[in-house]
Structure 1
Amino acid sequence: MRSATLTIIILMTFTCFGQDCSLITTPVDGDVDIAVDSPIRWSAVPNIIGFVVSLGTTPGGGEIVNRRSSGQNNFYIPEVGLPADTKIYVTIGYFKAGQDFTTCEIESFRTVKITEAPNCTSLKNPINNSSNIAAETQLDWLYSPTATGYILSIGTSAGGTDVLDGFDVGNVLNYEAPEGLPADTEIFVSIVPYNDIGNAINCREESFITTSVVVDCGPYYDYLTGTSITLSPDINFPKRIGFCVRSPSTRISSDDDADGYRWFMVNSDGSETLISSEKIADIPKIGTYRYEAYNNIEQSTTTVECGKSVIFQVLPSDSATIHSIEDHRRSNGQVAIIAEGQGLYEFALDSRSGPYQDSSVFHNVTNDFHKVFVRDKNGCGITESSIQRKLTSDDFPKFFTPNGDNVNDHWQFITPKLQGEITVTSIHIFNRYGNLLTIIDPNLKGWDGTFKGSPLPASDYWFRAYAENGEEIRGHFTLKR
């Protein structure tokens, strides 16, 4: 004999008007012309166990939603919307450990008056163009804002109504045929939302294929092998990919091992458009997409699919613009590439083929001429620029011998090989006491070791060279007699 224990919980409640109680924030108390699909949000309360929300057409009533738990979420989205042109009363309550149930002050707002028929909806489950659907499957569809009911037709041919003919299911978002759907058949479904203004127009028909064989795709435990079995393929596809904005489309592909593939574009109304049944797909624009991979499983006299899918976002991407290059080689050997753009970038030095790194900062960079490369990770192009050679005192002569033999008689800057675009504009020469002796033009012969026409003695002399890019190079050299 079975016995049952009945536990009765008596909730002690009190109404709260203080700071610890929630106030609705969307919409706010007294708002008017609120959309019928508006979420209800309220202020958070610390350390709660859970919220309870009631929505009614009378103060404190629950005609729409009666004491519905929202967990610790301080929001609630009515599944089938709110009645139009109606004053909605909101009652929020919550549980706190060790305290009685708290009911907050009743607040209200008025919804907008509806002046148009609702838009069309689409199947949520099964999705359009799917296959191997169990005949006992419940149909689910998306809420159409402002709809107050739905007219459902089901047939075994396009436009057919032999399974269900224009049945008004009311203001619900699902339907299950009492005796199931015909097996091994393509099922055509038409869902027409309506409200007091009229019916949605030009709603497209959707379809899926049922099966008489239901396969457990797993995972399940195989007692013979002692392992977990999954008949669906393993899929490994990113949740975000880039779309090259300069291209009419972006081609993507799957590396997964499967018997078949499908790529769907998810439309703004939640419906899906099949764009490829191959391993590759050409993505036409940015947006939301669904990728599906499946294995064909042989069962008796038929083949069924076991599949997995993933929703992914296609985001805009582009080649980089190199805004500037911060050259700190003199101080710490570092170079930082400042790149801008819509893409995700990686960076390489001296070689277009890499290796590339995520960091835009390079360390221990020599003073030589370098090329930098910025590559978009989504394949939208490589941008390159250059880092000019850094001049040092080693690029200037260490000595000269002005003895009139026409060999090394003048001290002058000699442009080094692979200099890049660096141009020295002037060189100031000083004696050891810091007195300016002369300013020489790098395009002329140079300094002959005299001051006001008189030869200067053998000694060390100092120079300060100025480059066109703003660099200043200091050093010294020897005059030998």
Structure 2
Amino acid sequence: MKKKWYIPLPKILAMPLSFVALVLSISQITAQDCPELLSPLNGSVSAPLNSTISWEPITGVPGYILSLGTTEGGNDILNQRNVGSANSYTPATGLPENTEIFVTITLFFFNQPNIVCNSQSFTTTTLSEAPNCTTINFPQENAIDVNTGTSINWSASPSATGYFLSIGTSINGGEIIDNLDVGNNLSYTPPVDLPEETTIYITIIPSNRIGVSSGCSTSQFTTTTKAILPVCSSMLSPYNGETNIPLSPVLEWNPVPNATGYRVTIGTSPLESNILNDAIFFKTSTVVIDFEPNRTFFITIVPFNDAGDAVGCTQETFSTLLGCGPYFNPLTGELQVLNPEITFPDTVSICTDTPSTNIYASDKADGYRWFKVDRSGNETLISSTNEVSITESGEYIYEAYSLFEDTGNIYECASSKIFTVVSSQEPMIDNVNVTDNGNSLNYEIITVESGNYEYALDDKNGDYQNSNRFNEISIQNHIVYVRDKGGCGITEKLIEHDLSVEGFPAFFTPNGDGINDFWQFVPQEKSSEEMVQTIWIFDKFGMLLTKMSPKSEGWNGILNGKSVPESDYWFKALSNNNKIIQGHFSLKR
């Protein structure tokens, strides 16, 4: 589970106004999520000594600074190594055995203080055997014309805690360096130059507390005549650690007097060379076009001459802040971007009986673009304003963008989405099915064509609903409305209720004399569509007394086994063509 940490702000944070407002009078703010260790896991044990340490990437964080130590927050193994945007790191010389290793990850930002996360830890395994032999990386095996002032570099042996080095002029000899303990390091520069034009033999034996490697082979190379190597250079612009660098900067470094040229390597992590890979320059500056925004870049300048390359040149860094984000806003504790927020719908309707439909962008932005996408996926620009005229259904792209200026250049931050245009039309009502529900009715509205419609009852202005059914509505005249959601029109239909009382007796006399003892509908000579299907009888207060079929013998004036008093009574009837008939009659005894 991710943890939230806090950034103390003892003084005002001044940040670029284009990103966040000035933070005034604030002492603490909720900070960015800190990453969890992925490998080795926090709290794990028996981690390999050559473990690669990796952690969760956090969106919006430009880079990470890593410290490794044997105490919480410690850095005695690795001291604040900037690893750029990489979310993993392999310690060059491995890790100590049977030790709790504390990992402290610092989130690196350009426009605010860095966030130091709480330490996480794991415990390494215990050594069980002597280390394996290593291999020499430089000078390469059987190399010739090696400068006499060269350094010697080798690969790490995973479980080694130190190395013994011998340098001689004979196989397995130690005439120059004899079995020297160089510690847990992977390079060594002899204190004096090696002899000229001589074959040099190098033996490196890794060691740990169990013992030393056995059977390690000897490497060799041949030196050239003595020559003076150039010294290392350093960056003038950008200077080491500088931020807010333009995306296309001029890189400039210090000239070295006896250098013929310079080898330049640039990468987005300390171990990469994905921008420039050992590129050769014969001057002390160069322009790099279109650096990626919001990244840390690692640069190494190595001067060279006929004698060879400068030895031990260190890596430097610089960072860019241009671009659209996301940026972490310490005032709100949230990520923010310069791209406009898009609220445009996924689907837009156009009316089939209209030549074209104008669509407007409601999102706030500096500019807009609209594209038509054909069946092959090709995009055609059809408008560069906040309005576009659509004439046909299909797939489209809506784009809104913001502009910002930095170092005299205009940059664009765009947001876009694909939306679908569908054809729609004014609805047509085919029928309204009316069904009996006791003393109420249910309506089902049937349209000629299916469409993206909504429905209302008795009020043209709403409330509209998605369902075409209305349940338990009163037994009286109603108007149903059907509206196209795309704005292509509204259709209405009146469900009429005939208030005539033809066929219904004006009175009856339930006195048991066998004459007019039942009140019932008497069919007239009309079409079957106007025949009655259900009849309801109410008292003068509107209480339902009975519901009956026109096929029954009728009502005898009895309710719950008792005769109702003489009075006027009301009826409602539903005809076969869904008309309501209502009226009243008298009960006489």
Give the structure-2-normalised TM-score: 0.34
